[in-house]
Amino acid sequence: MLIRYELFKIVRRKSSLICIATSLLLVGLLFLLPVIQFRIYSQQGSISGLAGIAYNRSQQQSLAGFLTDEYIAELITEYQRLFENQDNIGFDGNERFLIGDAAWDFEMPRRTILIMIARNYARPSEFPPLSTLLELDMQNGPQFYQTRANRLETLLHDPSYNFTVQQQDFWRNMNSAVETPFKFGYFGGWEVIVNSLELLIFAILMVCFMVAPVFAGEYQAGTDSVILASKYGKSKLITSKFYPRLYLQYVCLRLMWPLH
């Protein structure tokens, strides 16, 4: 009953309602920016906004599946085969790259996967171009996950990071918990959420402003000495004031989650 009373006292204030509405509006607008600014390119030109997201999602979902060594070998072999035709190759003075139908039909829909594969065979902290896939020897298979494990060991023993034995064991255990083979699919929505989580600080700040007067009212009116001296003044009463804070934060986060 005390918790309901305190919660009602908070939300009935106009300032609280203004804070909730403002935080929802602000965070909603900020989360909409990646949608509005999204742009993807096809052979017919650029596609932006919701249409671009739908196009990207349909492409990625058509390629969804497990990244087994066999599938990775097929991707690398096909990428290398396309470079055998000179009509598919462009050159910018530094590296070769696919052009025309080979680029639009094969590379662009699979570019995210191909970049991840290329980085797996590079040294840690290196971001190699896709053309490095041409140098891979597929006679013994890609050995993608074994290469990944070796890459992790190289990183853990890098003197610049100075990992302790305990830290090395921690990251090995974290890595062993990752299920393989990886599963690939559309992840654009989660990417926006992860990259924009810090925006929720606005909602948390608004809740803090809303609940700031909860304890201040008793101190201002001088009734705190009476309340704290009562039987439940330092236990149930404080709990009843504390829980509405957590509940309001939970409600605000739940209201904003569909915006993601």
> Which tens digit of pLDDT belongs to each residue from 144-193?
999 999 999 988 988 888 899 999 999 999 999 999 899 998 888 788 77
Q: Is the pTM of this model over 0.75?
A: no
pLDDT in tens, 194-203: 777 777 676 6
**What CA–CA distance (Å, rounded) separates 71 from 117?**
11
Beta bridge partners of 96: 91
Of the two residues 237 and 135, the one the predictor is more confident about is 135
The pLDDT confidence band at residue 43, using thresholds 50, 70 and 90, is confident
Mean pLDDT across the chain, nearest whole number? 79
**Residues contacting residue 228 through CB under 8 Å, at least 6 positions apart:** 234
What number of other Cβ atoms are within 10 A of residue 227's Cβ?
A: 14
What is the rounded average pLDDT of the residues 237-243? 60
**What CA–CA distance (Å, rounded) separates 56 from 66?**
19
pLDDT at 170: 94
144, two tokens:
């993608």
Residue 7 has pLDDT above 80, yes or no: no
**What CA–CA distance (Å, rounded) separates 160 from 152?**
14
What is the rounded average pLDDT of the residues 60-78? 91
> Helix %, strand %, coil % for the chain, to 5?
70, 10, 25
pLDDT at 259: 40
pLDDT in tens, 113-147: 999 999 998 887 778 888 889 888 888 888 899 99
Residue 230 has pLDDT above 80, yes or no: no
pLDDT at 241: 59
**Residues contacting residue 6 through CB under 8 Å, at least 6 positions apart:** 214, 240, 241, 243, 244
pLDDT at 72: 93
CA–CA distances in Å: residue 127 to residues 115, 118, 130: 9, 8, 9
Which of 135, 259, 245, 243 is CA-nearest to residue 193? Answer: 259
